[in-house]
C-alpha cells in the first residue's frame, strides 16, 4: 500500500489544488480530470461533497462511455440533472 504523500506527488495535472484533505475533494478532482475540465475544480469538489456518490459515478460512466461528446462537462451536468430528477420521482 502506498503512502498518501506518494500518491499526492503523482499529480497528473500540475494546476490541481494542493490543499486536498478529504476524500470527496480527491473524487471531485478525479471527475474534473476525467472530463478534461481542469478550470473548474471547485465545481466538481462541491458536487462530490453535496451529491450522492452513486449518482456522480453513474453520470461519469455515462460520459466516458459516450464516444462522440462535443462537451463532456455539459453532458455530465445534463446526465446528473436527469438522474437527480428521476431519483426524486
pLDDT tens digits for range 34-65: 999 888 989 999 999 999 999 999 999 999 99
Looking at residue 76, what is its pLDDT?
96
Average pLDDT, the chain: 86
* Residues counted in the chain: 89
Long-range contacts, stretch 24-30, CB < 8 angstroms, 24+ apart? 24/48, 24/49, 25/49, 27/53, 27/56
Q: Which cell numbers in the block locate residue 47?
A: 458536487
pTM recorded for the entire structure: 0.77
Res 19: pLDDT: 73
**Of 7, 45, 51, 3, which Cα lies nearest the Cα of 24?**
45
Confidence of residue 21 (pLDDT cuts 50, 70, 90): confident
Amino acid at each position: 500500500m502506498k503512502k498518501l504523500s506518494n500518491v499526492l506527488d503523482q499529480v497528473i495535472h500540475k494546476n490541481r489544488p494542493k490543499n486536498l484533505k478529504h476524500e470527496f475533494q480527491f473524487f471531485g478532482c478525479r471527475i474534473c480530470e476525467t472530463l478534461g475540465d481542469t478550470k473548474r475544480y471547485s465545481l466538481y469538489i462541491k458536487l462530490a461533497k453535496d451529491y450522492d456518490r452513486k449518482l456522480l459515478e453513474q453520470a461519469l460512466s455515462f460520459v466516458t462511455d459516450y464516444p462522440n461528446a462535443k462537451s463532456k462537462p455539459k453532458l455530465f451536468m445534463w446526465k446528473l440533472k436527469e438522474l437527480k430528477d428521476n431519483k426524486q420521482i
